[in-house]
Amino acid sequence: MTVNPFVSGLLAAVMLHEPVTLQLAAGLVAVCVGLWIATTEAATKSAPKA
């Protein structure tokens, strides 16, 4: 699973002094959940059934 969007958001907050707002936090959570859903769906479909 790639964590690039999550790391990018945190680095922007730390290095560029971007404010960490509720919208940023919600967006990061939504992206991470979407990535998790995409990777678990792919793993489930590719796994052989016994």
Q: What is the pTM of this model?
A: 0.60
CA distance 2 to 22: 22
Domain ranges of the chain: 4-45
48 secondary structure, DSSP code: P
pLDDT averaged over 10-residue windows placed end to end, the chain, 50 residues: 74 89 88 85 61
Cβ pair 9, 24 in contact under 8 A: yes
Burial environment of residue 9 by CB neighbours within 10 A (0 to 12, 13 to 18, 19 or more): middle
CA distance 5 to 31: 7
> Which pLDDT does position 46 carry in this prediction?
61
